[in-house]
Amino acid sequence: MERKEVILSEHLEGSLEDAIGRCSHDRLFVLCDTTTLQLCWPLLAPMRCMAGAQTITIGATDEHKTLESLSAVWTALQQGGATRHSLMVNLGGGMVTDLGGFAASTFKRGIQYINIPTTLLSMVDASVGGKTGINFGGLKNEIGVFNCAASVIIDTQFLRTLDHQNLLSGYAEMLKHGLISDEPTWAELMRFPLDDIDYGHLQRMVARSVAVKERIVDADPLEHGIRRALNLGHTVGHAFESMALAQERTVLHGYAVAWGLVCELYLSTRRAGFPRDKFYQTIQFVRDHYGRFPFDCNDYPRLFELMTHDKKNTSGRINFTLLGDLGDIRIDQTATREEIMDMLDFYREY
């Protein structure tokens, strides 16, 4: 999978004009959700490079990351006269960049697309690395392909449109990147004042967080090995997210990852010797900022079953990414059913 350009932009119009200019195309489409159509599209609409662009709109939030929304995008492309030489710009959070990337990758066997992430989560996670897809059968990201955007344009001015919950959602992925990196990166994230945000400082932290993901994706673009480091917190986090989706109490992805980090760092202390002082500092940070995901012991069998569907699993075993220390990554780690039940007990009781 060929790596594409990630642009940390300080002038959105110039960056977008350059990116579009590198993609020879006959028609231009812009995919938004109902929120970004209202808050973000007005910033792009007057730009000269957007002249003649056709907008496609889908519902906002993860509950619309479905086959029905995907079909609606394909239909809009078809009715709009898109050919295999057309170009689509995905303007939105992770749901839009994931679904839009999948729609572009499969329409006419693939058209070019550009991602403009508008949430912190999509800037540091969903828009970089070439993963595209939709939820299916009650499971997160069950259907999709690897296919990189032609360009990813990251402009942190969009972060000023975010509510605090969505900012925290993205910050959880940054925290994960800190845990798999080194102590200074983790410590900076733990100290950053989330209740009084310095957006200039945050922009520099976003750049470093994106660089962590790019470095890992470059080393393992199709997730055969070290890219699984990026799944820290996700085996349990996706189970929480899928259960919440089925119960119609949708939670933000980053919150689920934060709760998953608590569980998988607990396993890390038990299985890999992760330092207890850093463990308790991290989970206290999560509890202070993200609260907790409510469930009881009757939900254990369902959560365990959801973990068995994780795409990292092999030979019927649930695989986790664990840490021996900050930056000491242990991929393809297994745990017994009893250890997983103990982990869920800890989460509920702490």
The active-site residue, picked from 64, 140, 176, 238, is 238
- Alpha-carbon gap, residue 345 to 350, rounded angstroms: 9
Reply yes or no on whether 238 is catalytic.
yes
Whether 253 is a known active-site residue: answer yes
Assess contact for 333 and 320: CB atoms under 8 A.
yes
Q: Which of 234, 271, 278, 330 is catalytic?
A: 234
| Annotated catalytic residue, options 231, 241, 319, 330 | 231
Decide: 98 and 134 in contact? Cβ < 8 Å. Answer: yes
Closest to 265 measured CA to CA, from 193, 147, 346:
346
- Tell me if residue 109 is catalytic: yes
Of the listed 4, 64, 65, 131, which one is catalytic?
Answer: 131
> How far is 296 from 39, CA to CA, in rounded Å?
39
3-state secondary structure of 252: coil
Residue 231 known to be catalytic: yes
Q: Locate 27 and state its tokens.
A: 């028609």
Catalytic residue among 223, 228, 271, 319: 223
Catalytic residue among 176, 177, 213, 271: 213
Residues composing the chain: 350
**Three-state DSSP state, 135:** strand
Catalytic: 234? Answer: yes
**Distance between terminal CA atoms of the chain?**
42
For residues 253 and 233, the answer to whether their CB atoms sit within 8 Å is no
Query: Which entry of 2, 48, 109, 298 is annotated as an active-site residue?
Result: 109
* List 115, 147, 173, 278, catalytic entry: 173
| CA 96 vs CA 26, 66, 247: distances in Å | 23, 11, 23
Active site residue 241: no
**173 is a catalytic site residue:** yes
Q: Is 13 a catalytic residue?
A: no
Place of tokens 């994230």: 189
CB 22 within 8 A of CB 150: yes
Q: Given 64, 65, 140, 227, which residue is catalytic? A: 227
**Of 4, 64, 140, 253, catalytic:** 253
DSSP symbol at 8:
E
> Alpha carbon of 4 to those of 36, 148, 271, 313: distances in Å?
24, 6, 37, 28
Q: Which residues are catalytic?
A: 109, 131, 173, 213, 223, 227, 231, 234, 238, 253
